[in-house]
Structure 1
């Protein structure tokens, strides 16, 4: 099935109209805080599955940060400033917490980039409200893995989830998976800020479904 360039562009065009797509420039090293061992295993398995799908790599440790994909679970946003050294890794953490509280948000992702603009770290914050508690660990883990493997637009999944149900099991939508694999094609740039990039992604993604 063909994927239109407009569909790709919409996934990477931000609220201010700018186009930005970036992939990880280093192997991913995940760590999850605030969950039991079973949920930890679910999250790491989901991240590994998405990394393999993308054709990227994982590692035991990151040379600069130790872990570079950090997932934090909390019951209240006010817990975040109490996490040791988190304010050093996430600038303006206190104002961020205030904005999340005011918006009654239940999830937020912060990306950091290397000197060329590729992703070098991502911090995922999940506040377990009634909505997220109603979501299975497998679905939540897969959703977050997909949304951290690439720098999507802040509007990319406002109208439709990156996941679909297949026989009651959450799976990545074929068109989303194809876009991710195309973004990680070795001939594609690690970061792109020109919308013509969407044409190249669409051409590759159409062949990868």
Structure 2
């Protein structure tokens, strides 16, 4: 999809088997990254900051409830997650999740938690650096993951990729950038399960693409 052309296009971005499901962050984002070298850390946090700024949202030094609320884990093998201190206390059913990811041969997985209003209050991003991900430049991988964590996208919504190459540089697709900006319009609710929400989101995203 090269552009958001209809409200149905927007609705598909947040479609899941249970129906329409939209959520954005309801609190400032506080990221922490595990398992990367110092030179990559700056690129990852810089990408998160850029996407948060695009959304018109906020970052903070600490989350009063969790300390950090966007946790990004890099590993070479899913089994390494079992050795991360206290991760099993943060991620319920961690052994079963690790076994499932191993069986599927997955190289990434995201898990979200929500507050009473349905807004995102925490996200866990797991990346297994297989040959495919290892060949992606750090800044490109970081931007892609930041986009995938800024909203609760529907299953397969970003299957065609979230980025495009412009003059040799990876950039966020303009249509998705417009959706992200629109999604954080304070007039809109932080979460929605009624597909009519997509109409309001489309109207704002269309102006953003104009």
TM over 0.5: same fold?
Answer: yes
> TM-score, normalised to structure 2's length?
0.97
**Residue 203 of structure 1: aligned partner:** 203
Number of aligned positions between the proteins:
207
Deviation at 1:204, TM superposition (A): 0.4
Residues of 2 paired with 1:163 and 1:9: CA distance?
Answer: 20
Q: Is structure 2 residue 186 aligned with structure 1 residue 175?
A: no
- Answer whether contact 1:3 1:205 (CA < 8 A) is retained: no
| Runs of 4+ residues over 2 Å off in structure 1 | none
Residues of 1 paired with 2:76 and 2:140: CA distance?
Answer: 19
* Partner SS, residue 126 of structure 2: strand
- Answer whether contact 2:4 2:10 (CA < 8 A) is retained: no
Deviation at 1:3, TM superposition (A): 3.2
- Answer whether contact 1:54 1:181 (CA < 8 A) is retained: yes
- Answer whether contact 2:4 2:206 (CA < 8 A) is retained: yes
Unaligned runs of 5+ residues in structure 2 are: none
Distance 1:2 1:129, change over 3 A: closer
**Residue 34 of structure 1: aligned partner:** 35
**Residue 68 of structure 1: aligned partner:** 69
CA RMSD of aligned residues (A): 1.0
Unaligned runs of 5+ residues in structure 1 are: none
**Residue 117 of structure 1: aligned partner:** 118
Deviations 1:118-144 (A, max 9, x none): 000000000000000110001100000
Q: Is structure 2 residue 153 aligned with structure 1 residue 135?
A: no
**Residue 9 of structure 1: aligned partner:** 11
- Answer whether contact 1:39 1:137 (CA < 8 A) is retained: yes
**Residue 46 of structure 1: aligned partner:** 47
Residues of 1 paired with 2:155 and 2:110: CA distance?
Answer: 10
